[in-house]
Amino acid sequence: MSSSPASPPPVFAEPTPLGLLGLSIGCAALLPIAFGVTLSPPALRTAAMFCLLFGAGGQLLAGLMALANKNLLGGTLFTTFSFNWVMNWWALAGLADGQVPDPAVVLSVDCTFLVIFSVLTYAFGFHSKLLFAFLFDIDVLFVARVAKEALHVPQLGLIIALCTVALIAISLWIAFAILVNPVAGRAVFAMPGPMFQAAAPAADGA
C-alpha cells in the first residue's frame, strides 16, 4: 500500500492573526458611533478610513493569503467579510455627507449574511470552540441588525454595540494565541478544542 503524498508547504505564514487584528481595529473604530458617543461627520469619516484600511484591507490580504495556502474555509470567510467592510466604509463616508443607504437593500443583504455566517459558524465549530464563539457572536450581531432594520427597534443598537465589543475581545484573543503561544512554548492564550467532531471516513472496500 503506497503512502499518501505529503501536503505541500504553505505559500505564506499563517495569515489569520492579520485578518483578526484588522477586524478588531475596524470594530474599535465603530464603537464610539455604535454607543452614540459621537456621530459627527469627522467621526464618521475617521471610522470609515479605519474600516477601509484595517477592516477591508487587512482581511482581504489575509483571505487571499489563506486561499493561497489552500485554507478554503478561512480564506472564504476573510475575503467575503473584507468586501462587507468596504461597504461599511462607503456607508459611513456617505452618512458623513448626509447620504443614507437604502434600508430595503441593506436588510436584504443582512439577511443573506446571516444565512452565510450561520452555516460558517457550524463549519468553524469543527476547528475550535473559540472560533465557534467568534462566529456565533457575529450571528447574534446580524440577528440584531436584521431585527432592528425590519422591526424599527432602535434599542437593539445596544446589542449590536455589545456584540462588537465581544468581537474585538475574541478576535484579539485568537490572534494573540496564534502569535504568542508558539513563541512562549506554552498556552499563554488558551485555545480550546473543537466544538464538534467530524465523522470518521468510511473504510475502503466497505
DSSP one-letter code for 203: P
Q: What is the mean pLDDT of residues 128-152?
A: 96
Each residue's pLDDT tens digit, 164-193: 999 999 999 999 999 999 999 999 999 999
What's the pTM value of the predicted model, to 2 decimals? 0.91
Each residue's pLDDT tens digit, 111-133: 999 999 999 999 999 999 999 99
Number of H helices, E strands in the chain: 7, 0
Average pLDDT, the chain: 93
Give the closest residue to 98 by CA, choosing from 144, 39, 158.
39
Residue, of 1 and 115, whose pLDDT is higher: 115
Return the number of other C-beta atoms located less than 10 Å from residue 185's C-beta: 7
Asked whether 100 and 149 are in contact (CB, 8 A), the reply is no
Q: How confident is the model at residue 200 (pLDDT cuts 50, 70, 90)?
A: confident
152 pLDDT exceeds 70? yes
Q: Report the alpha-carbon distance of residue 120 to residue 114 in Å, rounded.
A: 10
Q: Report the alpha-carbon distance of residue 141 to residue 146 in Å, rounded.
A: 9
The confidence score (pLDDT) of residue 69 equals 96
For the chain, give the percent of residues with pLDDT over 70. Answer: 94
Each residue's pLDDT tens digit, 12-60: 999 999 999 999 999 999 999 999 999 999 999 999 999 999 999 999 9
156 pLDDT exceeds 50? yes
